[in-house]
Amino acid sequence: MENFDAIVIGAGHAGCEAGLALARTGQKTLLLTLSLDAVAFLACNPSIGGTAKGQLVSEIDALGGEMGVNADKTLIQLRMLNRGKGPAVQSLRAQVDKEDYHIQMKKTIENTPNLYLRQGESVEIILDGEYKIVKTAVGLSYRAKALVFATGVYLKSRIIIGEYSNDVGPNGFMNSKRLSDSLKNLGIKLLRFKTGTPARIHSRSIDYSKLEIQEGDENLASFSFLTKNRPENKTFCHLTYTNKKTHDIINANLDRAPALSGEITGIGPRYCPSIETKIVRFKDKDRHQLFLEPEALSTEEVYIQGFSTSMPADVQEEMIHSVSGLENAEVMRDSYAIEYDCIEPTQLLPTLELKSIKGLFFAGQINGTSGYEEAAAQGIVAGINASLYLQGKEQLILKRSDAYIGVLIDDIVTKGTNEPYRMMTSRAEYRLLLRQDNADIRLTEIGRKVGLVTDERYNLYLEKLDLMSKFEEALKTKMKVNEIQDFFEKNGESVPRESITVKDMLKRSNIDAFKIQDEFGIFNDFPYDIIEKMNISVKYEGYLKQQQEDIEKAKKNEEILIPEDFDYNSIKGLRIEAIQKLSEIRPISLGQASRISGVSPADIGVLSIYVKRFK
C-alpha cells in the first residue's frame, strides 16, 4: 500500500485545482482519475468565464490557482459580457480550445513536483483511524490523512438520448459504479441531479451567410494577473434562433422527451434548461437564441449553445434542420442528458470538510453545483484546506464579503440546493466590491498566507499596489479653469468656477479617466487595467463606501462563533423548525445561522442571547 499526504479523487476542474494546491504547498499528493484523457475535460461548452463566472476565475487566479492561466494560454475568442452595464456585473468570457485546454492542464499537472497523476477507478473508502484508504477496481490501495472528493458527474452516471440510455459518464467516458455505495456506507446523504449538453455539428455544413457574426472584443485584460500579453482573438462565434417550426417539432414530440416524461428522475438546472423545457415553460416566446461556438482550432466540431436536449436522435436532427443556417447541418455528436449522484452539501463545513469525518473534503459538482468555474473555485479551497489540515493550521473560510467563492460556498453549505447550483451576480450582495478587476487586491494576501502565491505573482501584486498609490497622487493634480473649459464644454459638463482636482473631474457623469488621458496625457504612465480600475473606484466611491459600511455591520454576527456541540433543543423560545434546521446544519457563527432557510430574525435574536450566555 502506497502512502501519500493527500489523495484527490477526480481530475476535472475541481480535482486539478485541489491537486495543484496541495502539491504546491508541499504535500505529496495522488491525483487519481478514471481516465487520463478526461483531465480538465470541457464536457459541455468549451468556454471559461461568463456572468459571475469570470469573477470566480480571477479569484482562483488571485489565490494562486491555474484555471485563469490555462484559459489565457488556450483561448480563441474573448468577450466582456454586460459591457454596457455597470462594473458590478461585467464579466470576461473566453471561448477556449477544448483540446488544447486539456493538453496544457495535463502538462502542468505532470510537471508539478509532489503531484502524482494516476489512472484508476476508486471503488471504496476505508477509514483507518486518522487515515483514509482508497481501494481501486484493479486491487491497488492508497493511504493518506487527507482525501478530497472531486468526482464531478461520474458517480453512477448515465446518459439519456430519447429511449436510449447508457451507464457511462460525459462523452462516453467510463463512470464510477461503486463509489456512491461507499459514501452511503460512511453515512453521507446523496442526491440525484441531472444536466446535459447540446449536439455538435460539422462546420462545413453550416450556412454562415444566414447567421449573425459574434466577434471578440479587443483591448481586454486577461483572466490571470500573471499573463503579460493581451489576449488575441483567433476565431468567430455566430448567432441564430429557433423558430415556430422548431417549436412545433418539439411540441409534437413531447411524449418522447425523457426530461418531461419522467424517464429522467434527476433534478436539472433551472438556469440552463433543455430546449424542450424552455418551449414548454416560455410558451409566449416565439424564438430562443442559439450560439454556434467552435470546439477547437484542430477540429471542425461546432457546439450549439442553448440547444441542450435529451430528445431521440431522429427528433434532434429534425429540430436542428429547422433552424436558419442549419438546414443541412451534419450532426457529429448527439445531444444527451446525464444523471448522476452528488452529496447534500449542508453536510459540509464552510471549509468544504465533511462535518462527520475529519480530513475528508468535497469539491465541485459532487457538491450539487454546476459549471467548470464553480467546480474549480471549490477545488482550490478544498485543496488549500486539506493542506492546512495536514499542517495542523487553522483552515481558510472565505466570507461573502471576501469573494464570489465565499458566496458560492456559503450558499451551498448553509442553504443547500435542490437543483444544480449556478453562480450569478445577483447572489452576491457586495458585488460592486467583488469585481473581476480587483480580485488580486482582495485575495492575493490570503493566497500568500496559505503558501500558494509564488514570489512572481506576489511581486506583480506589489507593483500594482505601487501603481495605484501613484495614481492616487495623480488624482490630486489641480486643473485651472482655462485649462479645462473647452474639455468640459465638449463633454456636455458645466464648467467649474475655480480650479478643480482631477479626481473631482472624474466624478462628472460624462467624463472618465480615458477621456482625461486622451486630452491631457495625465495617465500616460499607467497601464490600461490600472486606469480602468481606478476610474471605477472614483466613479463609484460613494456606493463602495456604503457597501463597506454594510460589511462592517454584518461582521459582528460573523464573529460570534457557535460551539460545535451547542444544544439547540435546550433553548426556550426557538421554533421547532429553527431547532431542526440549526441542529442539522450546525452553523459555525451567528451570521451563518441567520442565512439558514427557515430560521427567522426572531430565532436569531433568541439564539444570540443564549450563545453569548454560553460563552
Split at pLDDT 50, 70, 90, the class of 124 is: very high
- The residue-averaged pLDDT of 231-249 equals 95
DSSP 8-class letter at 44:
S
Q: What is the pTM of this model?
A: 0.94
Residue 537, H or E segment: helix 528-539
Q: So what's the pLDDT on residue 565?
A: 86
- The residue-averaged pLDDT of 534-554 equals 92
Q: How far is CA 82 from CA 34, 61, 79, 151, 288, in A?
A: 38, 22, 10, 33, 19
Sketch out the chain's domains with CATH numbers: 200-338 (2.40.30.260), 465-546 (1.10.10.1800), 559-614 (1.10.150.570)
Write down the H helix ranges in 134-267: 179-185, 244-252, 258-261
Q: So what's the pLDDT on residue 219?
A: 78
Q: So what's the pLDDT on residue 611?
A: 83
Q: So what's the pLDDT on residue 273?
A: 80
How do residues 415-462 score in pLDDT, each as one tens digit?
A: 999 899 999 999 999 999 999 999 999 999 999 999 999 999 999 999
Cβ neighbours of 615 (radius 10 Å) = 9
Q: CB–CB of 282/251 below 8 Å?
A: no
Q: How many residues are recorded in the chain?
A: 615
For the chain, the average pLDDT equals 94
Percent of the chain with pLDDT over 90: 84
Lowest mean pLDDT among 109-123, 260-274, 398-412, 581-595: 260-274
Q: Read off the amino acid at residue 205.
A: S
Q: So what's the pLDDT on residue 220?
A: 82
Cβ neighbours of 164 (radius 10 Å) = 13
Q: In the numeric block, which cell numbers belong to residue 509?
A: 457623469
How do residues 158-210 score in pLDDT, each as one tens digit?
A: 999 999 999 999 999 999 999 999 999 999 999 999 998 999 999 999 999 99
Residue 585 class from Cβ within 10 Å (0-12 exposed, 13-18 middle, 19+ buried)? buried
The answer, yes or no, to whether residue 30 has pLDDT greater than 90, is yes
How do residues 384-405 score in pLDDT, each as one tens digit?
A: 999 999 999 999 999 999 999 9
Q: In the numeric block, which cell numbers belong to residue 258?
A: 425523457
What's the rounded Cα separation, in Å, for the pair 236 and 76?
9
What's the rounded Cα separation, in Å, for the pair 172 and 176?
12
Q: So what's the pLDDT on residue 83?
A: 83
Q: So what's the pLDDT on residue 260?
A: 67
Q: In the numeric block, which cell numbers belong to residue 494?
A: 458645466
Q: Which residue has the cell 493566497?
A: 447
How do residues 208-220 score in pLDDT, each as one tens digit?
A: 999 999 999 987 8
Q: So what's the pLDDT on residue 280?
A: 87
Split at pLDDT 50, 70, 90, the class of 67 is: very high
The answer, yes or no, to whether residue 298 has pLDDT greater than 80, is yes
What's the rounded Cα separation, in Å, for the pair 382 and 396?
9
Torsion angle of C-alpha atoms 419, 423, 429, 432, degrees rounded to 10: -170
The answer, yes or no, to whether residue 266 has pLDDT greater than 80, is no
Q: Read off the amino acid at residue 25.
A: T
Report helix, strand or coil for 83: coil
The answer, yes or no, to whether residue 268 has pLDDT greater than 80, is no
Q: How far from each other are the two terminal CA atoms of the chain, in whole angstroms? A: 45
Three-class DSSP labels, 141-165: EEEECEEEECCCCCECCEEEECCEE
The answer, yes or no, to whether residue 271 has pLDDT greater than 70, is no
